[in-house]
Amino acid sequence: MNRRDFVTALGAAAAANWSSSTAIAHAAMSPLKQLADHKGLMFGSSLALKYFTQSPAYKQLFISQCDIATPELQMKWNSLSHQPGVYDFASADQLVTFCETNHIKVRGHTLVWHDSLPAWIPGRLSSTTAETIMLDHIHAVAGHFAGKLYSWDVVNEALDPGSQRQDGLRTSPWLQNIGVDYIEKAFRATAAADPHALLIWNENYLEVSNGFGAAKRRAMLAQLDILLEQGVPIHGIGLESHLRGNQANVLGDASYEAFLAELAKRGMKIFITELDIQDVTLPADVSERDQTVADIYKKFLTATLRQSAVKGVIAWGLSDAFTWLSGYAPRKDGLPARPLAFDANCQPKPAYYAIADALETAPRRA
């Protein structure tokens, strides 16, 4: 039985309320990290240990599926520090220890972002203070985890074509107070604090093949050329890939693949870093909704994984029980969101099989 027939059979079993469907699902389920590994890829998810207390099954699922993880909150500035210069690394350390114990690599996330800043920051930022505040933060945080992380998202969401700036950069508090070279300074400081981590620029909506996406891609390539020309230590690009169910026709087209090739030409390693699919505009019917979501996963991943500079797929959660989208993009009909590979009971959905299929058809990396 191939995967698609299997899903159909599962659906029939569920419809007949066949109690052993769960056991069958497990029997046919190859861990995504294993399918990825066969192709020289990594597979993982965002991680928050609090979900494991709520669901031990989720903990088992996480360990079985992932060989890389991104802390969902614990390394963000507003999680680490509530007062200037005072840091509490306890929960982030706990997360790193959990990952070490379970042979899961950790992606540090994130050092310089306009979002998730502690309440004290806005009042203190000025053109005379901002650079020191940013560099001290990088020194403290990247220094604390030095040698323990696979990578750092040094700069997060630095582009905003809506800013009306020629260079497409977001007018973030960092840009406003430090200037455009805050990006260069952040990368250099992170390299000095943790010479072993891969240094990543993580960005959203690069994959959308409309005018907005195209503007982002152009702006990123132009910035990359400047940074690389100046010898800035930047090693990779994160494609957040928060996809939307109603954008199926504009995801992962030829101009997007050409962009990935341009990144590869510049020596960038590429990671899908926050993959999920908003189902807020999709029909209520669960099987129809799940199928549309699965089709988008398949289309997007197939296009992206064709590029061998893509080294890993990290989802923004594994089970629909624990998705940020239930708060960020709730459905108007009040039905629970179904954006991820596994349902609220940690059972595989059509999305899981779509991801598995895309990994199995991906070319092998060296």
Residues that bind ligand XIL (CB under 6 A): 72-73, 156, 240, 274, 324
Pairing type for strands 236-239 and 269-278 reads parallel
Cβ nearer to ligand XIL, comparing 133 with 155: 155
97 cis-preceded (ω within 30 degrees of 0) = no
CB of 149 vs ligand XIL, minimal distance in Å: 16
- Of 228 and 344, nearer to ligand XIL (C-beta) is 344
Question: Length of the chain, please?
Answer: 366
Report the nearest approach of ligand XIL to the CB of residue 329 (Å): 11
Q: Which residue is nearest to ligand XIL (CB)?
A: 324
Closest approach of ligand XIL to the CB of residue 15, in Å = 33
User: What's the CA gap between 81 and 137, in Å, rounded?
Assistant: 10
Q: Which is nearer to ligand XIL, 286 or 344 (CB)?
A: 344
46 Cβ contact partners less than 8 Å away, ≥ 6 residues apart: 69, 70, 71, 72, 274, 314, 315, 316, 317
Q: Which is nearer to ligand XIL, 6 or 51 (CB)?
A: 51
Query: Which CB atom, from 7 or from 73, has the smaller least distance to ligand XIL?
Result: 73
Smallest distance, ligand XIL to C-beta of residue 155, A: 11
Q: For this structure, is 157 an active site residue?
A: yes
Question: In 3-state terms, what secondary structure has residue 169?
Answer: strand
Active-site residue, from 131, 184, 207, 274: 274
Contacts of 200 (CB under 8 A, 6+ apart): 107, 151, 152, 153, 154, 234, 235, 236, 237, 238, 271, 273
Exactly one of 157, 184, 207, 240 is catalytic; name it: 157
Has 131 been annotated as catalytic?
no
Q: How far is the CB of 29 from ligand XIL (least distance, A)?
A: 25
Instruction: Please calculate the CA angle 92-82-160 and round it to the nearest 5 degrees.
Output: 80
Answer for the pair 281, 224: CB distance below 8 angstroms, yes or no: no
**Residues labelled as active-site residues:** 157, 274
